[in-house]
Structure 1
Amino acid sequence: MDNSKILKAFNERSKNTLMETLNIEYVDVGEDFLTAKMSVNSRVHQPYGQLHGGATAALAESVGSAASNFFIDSKSQFINGIQLSINHIKSKREGVVFATAKNVHKGKTTHLWEVTIVDEDRNLISVAKMTNIVLEKRK
């Protein structure tokens, strides 16, 4: 499957979900990474007019969870996030942020991702660590 088809499939799955509400769009994929972007505006602000840490965490978890789908058999398995740790480095009021998930550990039952969030000028906004568990679908 080519990259444009992969990105289209991820974006289609985001319809009517939190990802659509937050305007998260998957924009780039490679052998060892997945990147999504999110607009920074009043929809994702906290009361002081800055990017809400929860919206940033939702972006990190979305891209980290989606990336794990590359390593499973989606017919018989699915992914659940079991741990997210995020450090916010810099505030952001407007523009765009990009979250890139890179695999740290790919086990049979757990996946560990490092998610780096930068703005359009490549300023570091947040860094997250995400752990997913691989579960078997019930028949």
Structure 2
Amino acid sequence: MWQTPPNLAELNQVCDNTLVSHLGICFTAFTQDSLTATMPVAAITSQPFGLLHGGASAVLAETLGSVAGNLMVPEGRICVGQDIHASHLRSVSKGEVTGVASAIHIGGRSHVWAIDIYNEQQQLICSSRLTLAVIKRS
């Protein structure tokens, strides 16, 4: 499925000094049709009540879907976020969450990705859908 096979070390290095690294997001695995990353549940990713911030979950989802999408397009094209929807299903107050992005639709002008985020007990905490526009690299 991948146009460019994922290299986890390179993906993590490219994200240095960005929001991705600031939130502690780390790419950890990939399969033939998915990309996985983790994010800590800590002060930097929590809201004032000590729970994982929904916006942090959305950042993890958009990061996974966008990076996966960009690994799917031919040279000279890039994917950019166009729409994201996240349903927050369960709260998390400590540990680490894991997001898994899987393609729903890969087209020439758009992609749609499903990103599910799980707690350490493998319980679904957030289900997200991301639409990406495929554009020419400028």
Normalised TM-score (structure 1): 0.93
Q: What is the letter of the counterpart of residue 102 of structure 1?
A: S
Count of residue pairs brought into register by the alignment:
136
Q: Distance in 2 between matches of 1:64 and 1:89?
A: 19
Question: Counterparts of 1:60-139 in structure 2 under 5 Å?
Answer: 60-73=61-74, 75-138=75-138
Task: Letter of the 2:134 partner, please give it.
Answer: V
Post-superposition offset of 1:119: 1.0
What are structure 2's unaligned runs of at least 5 residues?
A: none
Supply the AA of the counterpart residue of 2:100.
T
Unaligned runs of 5+ in 1: none
Secondary structure class of the residue paired with 1:71:
coil
When you count helix as a share of all residues, which structure comes out higher? 1
CA RMSD in angstroms, aligned pairs only: 1.6
Cα distance between partner residues in 1 of 2:9 and 2:111: 23
**In structure 2, C-alpha distance between the alignment counterparts of 1:79 and 1:125, rounded to whole Å:** 26
Name the amino acid aligned to 1:60. A
1:111 aligned counterpart, secondary structure: strand
Task: Give the Å deviation of 1:70.
Answer: 2.2
* Deviant stretches of 4+, over 4 Å: none
Instruction: Name 1:41's counterpart in structure 2.
Output: 42
Rounded to whole Å, the distance in 1 between the matches of 2:137 and 2:59 is: 24
Distance across 2 between alignment mates of 1:85 and 1:96: 21
Residue identity in the other structure for 1:28 = A
